[in-house]
Amino acid sequence: MSVNESLARNSYAAAGQSHIVLAENISEAQFALLEKVCPAGLFQRNAAGVAMINYRGCLECGCCRVIAGSSTLKQWRYPASGCGIALRFG
């Protein structure tokens, strides 16, 4: 099973707004680092070239927070209670 196939099996309850917010005016190098570290590939540029995050698919692993820090991410917190990824055990 590929990574994308595995990710597609996850279940999420989307919150109304992102729990992760990019800092303003981050550099190309900072954004490239986010693109590289996110295991779900959620940091992307839209058609206009604007850096963005597809927070609805977040695995809540914290990799971006640990690697990038507050100069790149203005906010990182868990989604509101009842929202985010549904973890399965066993």
- Inter-residue contact 52 to 31 (CB < 8 Å): no
Q: How far is the CB of 60 from ligand SF4 (least distance, A)?
A: 5
Q: Which helix (H) or strand (E) holds 12?
A: strand 12-13
Shortest Å distance, C-beta 83 to ligand SF4 = 13
Residue from 42, 72, 79, 84 touching ligand SF4 (CB under 6 A): that is: 42
C-alpha to C-alpha distance for 53 and 11, rounded to whole angstroms: 18
* 38 touches ligand SF4 by CB under 6 A: yes
Question: From the CB of 78, what's the least distance to ligand SF4, in Å?
Answer: 9
> Do 9 and 51 form a contact (C-beta atoms < 8 A)?
no
Place of tokens 């989307």: 14
Is residue 45 part of the contact set for ligand SF4 (CB under 6 A)?
no
**Which residues from 46-85 bind ligand SF4, rule CB under 6 A?**
58-64
Tokens representing 23?
């800092």
Interface with ligand SF4 by CB under 6 A: which residues? 20, 37-40, 42, 58-64
